A = this chain, B = another copy of it.
Amino acid sequence: MGNLCECLGNFFGRKNTNVRVSLPAVCFIWQIAMIVLFGIFVRYDEESDVKKWLELKESANITSNIENDFYFRYPSFQDVHVMIFVGFGFLMTFLKRYSFSGVGFNFLIAAFGLQWALLMQGWFHSLDPVTATISIGVESMINADFCCAGSLIAMGALLGKVSPVQLMIVTLFGVTLFAVEEYIILDLLHCRDAGGSMVIHAFGGYYGLAISWVLYRPKLHQSKRLNGSVYHSDMFAMIGTLFLWMFWPSFNSAITDHGDGQPRAAINTYLALASSVLTAVAISSMSQKKGKLDMVHIQNATLAGGVAMGTAAEFMITPYGSLIVGFCCGIISTFGYLFVTPFLEKTLKLQDTCGIHNLHAVPGMLGGFVGAIVAAFANEDVYGKEGLKRVFDFEGDFANRTPGTQGGFQAAGTCVAIAFGLVGGGVVGLILRFPIWGDPADDNCFDDEVYWEVPEEDEEEIIPPVLEYNNHMIHKHQDISESNFSVEQS
């Protein structure tokens, strides 16, 4: 397969990064497809349709509009929305000359992904068997944003090495795979995963890593000069970090149970994140000879606690349990950035630009297993009889499931998510190797110039003293032709 691709590559000649046909084509055709499919399938749910809501109020004897799910979940939705667009977007602006692409492509693929997610998740979870329609509401929007997150995580591993068309394909398949694995994990295995340690982070992480592994570029060092940050690009990335960090309690509590479920998930996540910060700082400082901190760790490893609490946040993990999870994941994630990412690149030929292995894949997997353990030890003393049913949804077909069994299924769910990520990513990676998607050459990666009209910097402004000096010198050395200065006067 690899050889075939290279042959095709040679056939097509030198890499062509012109996406003037492919990108508009993909955007237009897919957007039109969305419109058609939405026309056929998508309707307002009973809480956002005026007729159905008035009927529901009467039939269910709802006395106040505040009972509409909107008022339970909309603030959390907006926080999640900020995480997806500003959080993930700005986190990927840390490269010195790839900030436009980081935030811009994130914007593009999330905007497409959420539409496709509404359809895919609708078909799998809420297709009305009678009318063959999907009903969407506030919770659907949250789930659609969640679903995008999987693909945005994968984008982190590929950052700087692929074209926007390839990212659209990553998202198309990413969202599709997500909806399927989510259906298996949440519906068939009946796992609980409110914040998506398994279905979002473990899946998204391994999906991205597998794609990146297939797309390995042996000569990527030719773009080394651009694979790093500058002072202000690191500051922009901190905007992303902080909005992710602050709103992670909303992420993990956005679709948990009304009532006690949402505050419990928020508190647990809040504590785990705080704990991660301290251990990430500690390891970062210890790892450098002079004890200096590394921005990469502060930007990423501080978030590991939130990833790892994605499954267990809604359980009765206890406040100190949350702190312990954050404590461990802050350490593991920072170690990952220090040792595992370089190791993966050297040994496994796996180039992971943002280090999603350390922030999403591993903490997500750990979060899945933490959830399994906490679920397995759940009991009526702590949850109460009703509470146990309520938290684990032991109803209908699953009324007789015990916490121990649930724990087993949770662990199995984690494995399913990882398997979907690895296999799906491998296949998608092969698709992306076809030399028609406009990806940059090895010496041209991490560069906004390839896909963006980048403003020229205004030299005049930045270095007047030198120019003045040079001007002076010219008068001394008339043998230097004046034409050299034309570039500076543009």
Contact A24 B285 (CB under 8 A): yes
A residues 229-275 near B (Cβ < 8 Å) are 229-232, 234-236, 238-239, 242-243, 245-247, 249-250, 258-264, 266-267, 270-271, 273-275
C-alpha spacing A316/B51, complex, angstroms: 10
Which residue on B lies nearest to A225, using beta carbons? B458
Inter-chain contacts of A246 with B (CB < 8 A) = 78, 81-82, 85-86
Q: Find A24's partner among B28, B136, B286, B318 (CB 8 Å cutoff).
A: B286
Given the interface contacts A75-B75, A89-B242, A453-B293, does A278 sit within 8 Å of B320 by beta carbon?
A: no
Contact A20 B66 (CB under 8 A): no
Contact A65 B258 (CB under 8 A): yes
Inter-chain contacts of A67 with B (CB < 8 A) = 64, 66
> Does chain B have a CB within 8 A of A434?
no
Inter-chain contacts of A438 with B (CB < 8 A) = 291
C-alpha spacing A221/B391, complex, angstroms: 61
Given the interface contacts A28-B282, A234-B100, A262-B70, does A382 sit within 8 Å of B51 by beta carbon?
A: yes
A residues 197-237 near B (Cβ < 8 Å) are 225, 228-232, 234-236
Q: A4-12, A350-358, A465-473: which lies at the B interface? A: A465-473
- Digit string of A34-56 for contact with B (CB within 8 Å is 1, else 0)? 11101100111001111111110
> Does chain B have a CB within 8 A of A347?
no
- Identical copies of this chain, number: 3
Q: Find A277's partner among B78, B97, B111, B286 (CB 8 Å cutoff).
A: B111
Contact B452 A293 (CB under 8 A): yes
> Does chain B have a CB within 8 A of A459?
yes
Contact A138 B50 (CB under 8 A): no
> Does chain B have a CB within 8 A of A383?
yes
**What's the nearest-Cβ distance from chain B to residue A194, in Å?**
13
> Does chain B have a CB within 8 A of A377?
no
C-alpha spacing A234/B104, complex, angstroms: 11
- Digit string of A78-101 for contact with B (CB within 8 Å is 1, else 0)? 110110011001100100110110
Contact B267 A141 (CB under 8 A): yes
A residues 463-490 near B (Cβ < 8 Å) are 463-470, 472-473, 476-477, 479-480, 484-485, 487-488
Contact B291 A18 (CB under 8 A): yes
Given the interface contacts A42-B320, A43-B319, A267-B44, does A27 sit within 8 Å of B281 by beta carbon?
A: yes
> Does chain B have a CB within 8 A of A19?
yes
> Does chain B have a CB within 8 A of A137?
yes
Contact B78 A451 (CB under 8 A): no
Inter-chain contacts of A97 with B (CB < 8 A) = 231, 461
**What's the nearest-Cβ distance from chain B to residue A150, in Å?**
17
Given the interface contacts A267-B136, A293-B104, does A485 sit within 8 Å of B469 by beta carbon?
A: yes
**What's the nearest-Cβ distance from chain B to residue A136, in Å?**
6
Inter-chain contacts of A250 with B (CB < 8 A) = 78
C-alpha spacing A111/B273, complex, angstroms: 8
> Does chain B have a CB within 8 A of A172?
no
C-alpha spacing A273/B250, complex, angstroms: 23
Q: Find A453's partner among B55, B85, B294 (CB 8 Å cutoff).
A: B294
> Does chain B have a CB within 8 A of A395?
no
**What's the nearest-Cβ distance from chain B to residue A229, in Å?**
5
> Does chain B have a CB within 8 A of A359?
no
Q: Find A290's partner among B20, B93, B473, B480 (CB 8 Å cutoff).
A: B20
Given the interface contacts A50-B383, A279-B31, A323-B34, does A85 sit within 8 Å of B20 by beta carbon?
A: no
C-alpha spacing A290/B114, complex, angstroms: 28
Inter-chain contacts of A236 with B (CB < 8 A) = 232, 235
Contact B282 A23 (CB under 8 A): yes
**What's the nearest-Cβ distance from chain B to residue A101, in Å?**
9
Contact B86 A243 (CB under 8 A): yes
Inter-chain contacts of A473 with B (CB < 8 A) = 480
Contact B457 A231 (CB under 8 A): yes
Give 6 pairs: A residue, B residue, CB < 8 Å, sorted on A.
A17-B290, A31-B278, A54-B384, A66-B71, A107-B242, A466-B467
State the 3 A-B residue pairs at the shortest beta-carbon distance, nearest first. A20-B291, A65-B259, A111-B277
Q: Besides A294-B453, A466-B467, 5 other CB < 8 A contacts?
A: A27-B285, A111-B275, A111-B302, A292-B450, A459-B463
